[in-house]
Amino acid sequence: MEASAVAASKKRRRVGTSKVDIDDVKRDEDLWFHDGSIVIVAGDTAFRVYQGLLMKQSEIFRDLFSMPQPVVVETMDGCPVVKVSDSPKDMKYLLEAIHSLGFFDPKKTLKFVAISALIRLGHKYAIEHLVDQALSLLKTEYPTSLTSWLVRWHKDYACKEDMDPIEVVYLARLTQTSSLLPTALYRCCQLESRLVEGTHRPDGTHVQLTADDLKRCMAGKTILVQEQVRVMLGCFDWEVSSTCNTKPRCRRSFLQAIAHVRNFPDIMAEFDPFREMDSADWFDKFGGLCDDCCNMFDGRVREARNDVWSNLPAYMDVEVEGWPT
């Protein structure tokens, strides 16, 4: 049986086929149920699973399995075989999510490659609840809250380097999830040559930004470096707190910090106005600040960041309903 036989409709996706010889495939050790009723072959890997469960979860599988069968049906261990064009790893994530009740256990950390596969294949096979669950995990990594963003991207957060922003933009466009776009495009703006070159999934699939999104990032880079300069200069204003009791020392620390920034123009030329700017980190090397001046500086940073965050969708040229302002 070939999966491409399913006709596309307004809600259906074309599934695609694989031409791998059935004699060359290997059984997946984790997803080979001896009482399974259907064999899904992806690449060189076969999965023996439950046809009824797949039909209940996916209208695409339901339509596929309901089609009249040819006289001669390809089988494996007595089960009909369905060949798909998806990569073995992607299909395994999908089938595991369907067959395992604990797949989305909040105590476990789901890898980004799994989240991406579930969104792409869940969309392809019209399994909306899997798409929704995977998107909810992605939204925690690319949130609409500045506080959540700072926790994840400016602390020692284990998953952050694994969350490829180019792939996130692709997933956001695929599922029309606009809330992911401001932060995903923002992260893309911080890429160098890979912004144009694109990225590769584990199966080798090449993913690039569309021409329109690439234009957004090129324009966004200019805006972000301007905002970086504005934030830095505004926060390092040499004026001390009105309640400061050590004005000479604190003013000297401010002036030395400003001089330090000017001597390292790369700090000003970053595309990251949300970079770490803790008062203790910046001023301790220059004699420190009193508590009142520290609070004043940290308040400047918060205000500047909030202003940039509220305008981030506009800077990235996307519309997001309900973005915090």
pLDDT of the chain along its 325 residues, tens only? Answer: 444 333 333 344 445 555 556 778 999 999 999 999 999 999 999 999 999 999 999 999 998 888 877 766 789 999 999 999 999 999 999 999 999 989 999 888 899 999 999 999 999 999 999 999 999 999 999 999 999 998 876 654 444 557 899 999 999 999 999 999 999 999 999 999 999 999 999 999 999 999 999 999 999 999 999 998 888 888 887 789 999 999 999 999 888 888 887 777 677 767 888 887 776 677 877 778 899 999 999 899 899 999 999 999 999 999 999 999 8
Q: In this structure, what token pair is assigned to residue 138?
A: 């992605």
In a domain, 23, yes or no: yes
In a domain, 214, yes or no: no
- The pTM assigned to this predicted structure is 0.87
Find the domain containing 256 and state its range.
225-312
Tally of domains in the chain = 3
| Same structural domain, 20 and 64 | yes
First to last CA, the chain: 53
Q: In this structure, what token pair is assigned to residue 58?
A: 């996916």
**Which of these three, 86, 113, 144, is where a domain ends?**
86
| Same structural domain, 277 and 179 | no
Separation between Cα atoms, residue 80 and residue 279, nearest integer Å: 66
| Same structural domain, 105 and 205 | yes
Across the strands, what pairs with 32?
Answer: 48
In a domain, 324, yes or no: no
| Same structural domain, 251 and 302 | yes
In a domain, 321, yes or no: no
Which helix (H) or strand (E) covers residue 39, if one does? strand 38-42
| Same structural domain, 131 and 202 | yes
In a domain, 29, yes or no: yes
